[in-house]
Structures are given as C-alpha cells and as structure tokens.
Chain A
C-alpha cells in the first residue's frame, strides 16, 4: 500500500487540458501565417518577428523578476510568444528594430503585466502594443513594403495597400486571388488569408476556440459592406475584398478570440463579434485610418465585462 493518500474533494480526475496546451496550439496555428510572411516579405519579416518575440519574452521575464519579484517564470505558458507573434504580424516588415522593441515592451508591460499577468489583462496585449506604435509612428506604421523584396529590410520599397485605395478608383485594388494568397502589401502576418484560414482550421480542430467570434465578425462585415456596395458600387468596394484585405482575417481569427479579453458565453461572443464587425466597417469606410480592426477589437475588449453581465447563460429550468 502507498505510504500516503491524497485527500481532496471531487472531481478526482481531469481531462488533461492545460494553459500550455492551448497556447501551444495557438502558436502552431500561427505558423502557416509566419511562413507565408517570410515567403512574401523575406528578411524584413524575419527580423521583425524574431525581434518582437524575443523582446516580448525578455520584457515578461524582466518584469516578473525585477518589478513583481516573482520567483517562478511565466514564460513557459506560451502567451508571451503569442503576443510577440501577433504584434509582429501587425507591423510592416520594414519597421526599425527599436520601434519593434518599444512595441513589445508596451504590449507586455502595459498591456499585460501591469494588470497582473496572463488572465487579468482587459485588452489584447499585442493590440495595445500595435496601437501604441500606430499613434507614435503614424507614417511608418501606415506605409507597407510591396511584396517579394526578399533581402530588403529598412530599405524596402513601400507602396499602396488595398485598404488605402478603398476611397479611390477601384481598378488599383488587387484581385481576389492575390488577396487570398497574400500577393499584396500590408502588415506582415495579415496579408495571406489562406495561411490564416489554415490556422483557423487548426484552432477549430483542436477545439481551442469556437467559430462564433470569427464568423460573426466576418458575416457582419460582409453584410454591412455588402449593403454599401449595393447602394453605391462606384465608391465602395465589394464585401469579399473587404474580408480578404487588411487585418480582418488575422484580427477575427487570432486577436478577437483571445480567451482573456473575449466574452464568456456564446451569446456574448456573438454580440462581441457583431460589435467588432460594425466598428471595423465604420472606421474603414468613414474614419481617417485606413484600417479599423485594431481599434474595433480594443473598443469591444473594453465593454466585455458589460457583455458578460448582459449575456448570462440560460440557467437550467428557468422559463423552460
């Protein structure tokens, strides 16, 4: 017989799920988009991604060690790597290293650790970092290198992106196929819809996320832009182009679905998705920034506690 028996109340078994497993599958799901970004933007994408991930890890380690005086490292849970990857994916591939490092420090330091670390942050850390950079370096953050300059970094030639053309003549917008495979300018991880959709499939397959948030965002955007397009096809582009361009895929699949900053019930998640879709369309069509995804997600992040209060699960036996 064993020398001692554990005494704790039921349940005595666990399904085996851990934070690490979930985070590792998210990282895996981000891999196709990362590989695509290396293929499309070459060296610059690699430098920005590596810098971002490394500085996120370093910031978290330093803050844990020297500001919070915690003995145990939290790097192993994988969330800092995800923040690093997502931040990089939201940056142009020619952004200087110092800016990337600043973005990472803000993302981890202000976006996450200031609130107490993983689980306590109200806003998506990567987006906090991105928006900080967007406000600090507006011109650098809104001029993107044109694809296929494999060895270029800071010297990359920048060009127009589809989103910045939405207000102008329609003929300069790339075709659906180019948008789908990422043959276009943009932030380094957001351009290849194909890779992001593969990642979406991985997340759904491993049951890391459910379809509700991404699909409601996409449907809302498609519906609203569809209405505008039907009303005036000359001024407004068609919904499919909207879906495939900018940060919509990246944002709806990987950023809006962040566990910590999204609602707890399916009903809440649907409203949250509708809200993000609506705000994105409003900013895209009527705002002064070409892309509205980050702001839309951050604004909806802010009201998640309210959504959680409004959208309670249906209680068993209540008005059945």
Chain B
C-alpha cells in the first residue's frame, strides 16, 4: 500500500494529456518581459537601464531584501524600457522589457549537454551560487530557494523531500523533466543534501507516473541515501505539509511553524534541476518547462520556455487558442491563476498554460449551504470551510481566526466538491487575508 496523507483530499480528473510528449524548445520571443515580482517577498530592483545591452544570463535585477531573488535576462538584446505590465496575478506590476537581438549567452555559462557529476563545494558556496542564480521554488509558490536552504539554527533537519508529486491535473512539466533529465536531478539532489549537511532524501512521486518511478528507482539504486517513494494518487499531495505527512508521517504544526520544525526541507523537482544548472553549469534560472494544454487544444505540448516569453506565443505553438476556450489559466485547474489576456509573460512560477473550455469554466449559480459536510470531509487541513466561508461573508473575523482560517492552504478541495457550488475558497481567501492583517497589526502593537 502506497503512502499518502491522512485527512481530506479529493480526486480531480487527472487529464494528463501531455504525459507522453517530449519537451520541445519554444521559439525565442521578439520582446521578453520580466516582472520584478516573480517570487514571494520583496520585488527585485532593476540594475539595468533603458538602452543597456544584455546577454542571455545577464543579471537585470537584484534582490530587494533578504526574502527576494535575482532576475536574469533570458535573451540577448537591448533594454527597451522599464514599465508596467499586467502579469499572472492580474495586477499591473513593474517589469523590464528587453528587445531581442540574436541569441548570445554569457560566456560563463556551460552550454554542453554533458552531465557534470562532481561537486566538492562547501555548503555556503553552494547556497551562494543558488542565490546568485535567482533560483526560486518552481512548484508555483516561488519561495526563494536560498532562504529555504538556510533553515533556522535550532531546527535539526534530517530529511530532504523532493516534490515530484505533480498532483495538479493537466500539468506534466515535472513528469517530463524526470524522464528526460533524471541524471541531472540526481546530481541536484546530492548538491542539496551537501548544502544541508544531511544524508537522506526521499523523492515522492504519485502512482500515476509509473515510468518516472521506475526510472528514478533505477537511477537511485546505486546512490546511497536517496529513496524513491511511490505515493497514492490524491490531491493536494503536492502541498508541502501533505507531502511531508505522506512521506514521513509527521505533521507540521499550525503557522508560524515551518517544515524545518519537523526536520524536513521540501524542494520541487523543477527546483532541483534549476539548482543543478546553477551550481554545475553556472546557468542562472531563465528557462523552465511549461505544459501548454487543454482538452480542445490541437497540439498540447511540454515546452522549454525562456522567461519573459508572452503566453500568446506558447499558445500559438500549441496550435492556437481553441474556439470554445472560456478561461485561460496560468498553472493547473485547482490552484492556477486566471489570466486576463495572452500578453502576460512566462515567469519563474509558470508551470502550465491551461485553456479551459467555456462549459468547464462557467461557475454555476450559488445555492444555500445544505450542510452536507462534503467540504469538511475534503479539507486536507482539518478545517470547516462552510463555517469559515460564512464567517468571512459576515465579516466575523473573530470566528474565522478561532477556527484556524490562517491554516488554509488554498488547495480548493472544498469549493470543488461543494454541491451547492458555493464560492467557499473565495470567501476563505478574503478572510485569511483580513485575519492575517489583523494578526500583524496586533503583533505590531505589542
């Protein structure tokens, strides 16, 4: 019996249309756009000016604080302007626009295909290199990786967990990455183990990817300390807390506790690959795998995309946007963000571009809660979404806080099972933001 997390969870249709499709390179854009907030934390600060010439891999923005990240150019050319653009968050944010000329890389980047196995660097040098390469969590949250690799001193880390679950329907970027770059991923894992100073890593993969499980098992057979753990299919297993529980049986206490408090560090398999490239190849994070998909898409595919490429170009490469499209999503259908249009650029956290047919995209009319308790059964955090939703609707922040609204991981299980079609997560998200604000204000007063 494969492991899984204990409470809640749902089984959305997997729809992994692109699981068998090789990663293809995406065409270079004419103009690449780099929003300055591509990560959790402070926005990056531009270090180029209009008219500057940049190469592929040139730093164009510096971290705006400890919790922030470098941004590198993914193209060579000239900085056209520093302006604003509507990004995947739906908000207008500052960004650097670069007009593409040729494809000239920074000479320090090792462009050979040879897998660089050896790494004798000290932990601090590795973390420094990762920071300088602008690596952030590639699963979607975009947490700066160097911060995650420096856990609080009082926490004893014993296990590195590699998140290769990819429980979001439709997305296959991580799956393909494992199949096509398995050796690099193993080296990446060894580098992270070295940086953390521990000797145990577990790769968590859901059972719907038997080929990846088999390949990773084969590749890790001769490597001591790295284990492949098949996990039962269940959403949201890729959630950090759920994955830690599935793999180790440990539950991370409620916020502000971190995974480090139970001795774990979790890294997405895409991040592991980025770390390999950063440390072994001197290649900053300016490319990623993006699944471009949808039930009516004529040519769904997995693309290796330069950051800053407009989404419209990827859609074109996938055969254009189908007639019946009702919603364009950056990411998966459970946690992805809706896009306002196709001009938004690919950023570090773009794991997929999903075109949902109109009939799937329309929300049905909301009805009274019939107290069927399906949301309570589905919640992987042991919350009562119906109660939190109503509390937020009534602006009853006290009840919301008492009932742990801040623990919500926004997985969407509640809303996706509600027979009354209540927008539970919309309300909970609102309440969570409010309550977090109230808690911050209260702490500031102390």
Q: Across the interface, do B360 and A13 meet the contact criterion of CB distance under 8 Å?
A: yes
Give A314 Cβ to nearest chain B Cβ, in Å: 5
Within 8 A of A (CB), among B361-399: 361-364, 367-374, 376, 379-384, 386
Within 8 A of B (CB), among A253-269: 259-265
**Residues of chain A within 8 A of B426, CB atoms compared:** 8-9
Question: Does A120 make an interface contact (CB < 8 A)?
Answer: yes
Q: Across the interface, do B338 and A259 meet the contact criterion of CB distance under 8 Å?
A: no
B327 — nearest CB in chain A belongs to which residue?
A6
CA distance A259 to B407 in the complex (A): 26
Give B6 Cβ to nearest chain A Cβ, in Å: 9
Question: Does A318 make an interface contact (CB < 8 A)?
Answer: yes
Give A123 Cβ to nearest chain B Cβ, in Å: 13
A320 — nearest CB in chain B belongs to which residue?
B251
CA distance A8 to B386 in the complex (A): 19
**Residues of chain A within 8 A of B337, CB atoms compared:** 9-10
B342 — nearest CB in chain A belongs to which residue?
A1
**Residues of chain A within 8 A of B324, CB atoms compared:** 2
A155-187 interface code vs B (CB 8 A; 1 in, 0 out): 000000000000000000000000000000000
**Residues of chain A within 8 A of B420, CB atoms compared:** 19, 119
Question: Does B263 make an interface contact (CB < 8 A)?
Answer: no
Q: Across the interface, do A317 and B253 meet the contact criterion of CB distance under 8 Å?
A: yes
Question: Does A28 make an interface contact (CB < 8 A)?
Answer: no
Q: Across the interface, do A259 and B329 meet the contact criterion of CB distance under 8 Å?
A: no
Q: Across the interface, do B376 and A264 meet the contact criterion of CB distance under 8 Å?
A: yes
Q: Across the interface, do B376 and A313 meet the contact criterion of CB distance under 8 Å?
A: yes
Give B228 Cβ to nearest chain A Cβ, in Å: 26
A14 — nearest CB in chain B belongs to which residue?
B416
B298-318 interface code vs A (CB 8 A; 1 in, 0 out): 000000000000000000000
A244-287 interface code vs B (CB 8 A; 1 in, 0 out): 00000000000000011111110000000000000000000000
Q: Across the interface, do B325 and A2 meet the contact criterion of CB distance under 8 Å?
A: yes
17 A-B contacts (beta carbon < 8 Å): A5-B326, A5-B339, A7-B327, A10-B331, A10-B412, A118-B368, A119-B420, A120-B368, A260-B370, A263-B373, A264-B373, A313-B376, A313-B384, A316-B252, A316-B381, A316-B382, A316-B407
Q: A7-B340, A265-B376, A315-B382 are in contact. List 18 more A-B contacts (CB 8 A).
A: A2-B358, A6-B326, A6-B358, A8-B327, A9-B425, A11-B335, A11-B412, A12-B336, A12-B338, A12-B354, A13-B169, A13-B333, A117-B368, A119-B367, A119-B370, A259-B372, A264-B371, A264-B376
Interface size on A, residues (CB 8 A): 39
List the 4 shortest-distance A-B pairs measured between CB atoms, nearest first.
Answer: A11-B412, A119-B368, A320-B251, A13-B333
Q: Across the interface, do B254 and A316 meet the contact criterion of CB distance under 8 Å?
A: yes
Q: A1-B321, A11-B335, A18-B421 are in contact. Are A313 and B383 (CB under 8 A)?
A: yes
CA distance A11 to B424 in the complex (A): 10
Q: Across the interface, do A11 and B333 meet the contact criterion of CB distance under 8 Å?
A: yes
Main secondary structure of the interface of A (DSSP, over half): loop
Q: Across the interface, do B382 and A313 meet the contact criterion of CB distance under 8 Å?
A: yes
B87-112 interface code vs A (CB 8 A; 1 in, 0 out): 00010000000000000000000000
CA distance A9 to B361 in the complex (A): 11
Q: Across the interface, do B325 and A119 meet the contact criterion of CB distance under 8 Å?
A: no
Binding site for B on A (CB under 8 A): 1-2, 5-15, 17-19, 21-22, 77, 116-120, 259-265, 312-318, 320
Question: Does B241 make an interface contact (CB < 8 A)?
Answer: yes
A4 — nearest CB in chain B belongs to which residue?
B326
Q: Across the interface, do A1 and B254 meet the contact criterion of CB distance under 8 Å?
A: no
Q: A8-B338, A312-B384 are in contact. Are A116 and B241 (CB under 8 A)?
A: no
A268 — nearest CB in chain B belongs to which residue?
B373
Give B92 Cβ to nearest chain A Cβ, in Å: 15
CA distance A132 to B323 in the complex (A): 58
**Residues of chain A within 8 A of B341, CB atoms compared:** 5
Q: Across the interface, do B340 and A5 meet the contact criterion of CB distance under 8 Å?
A: yes
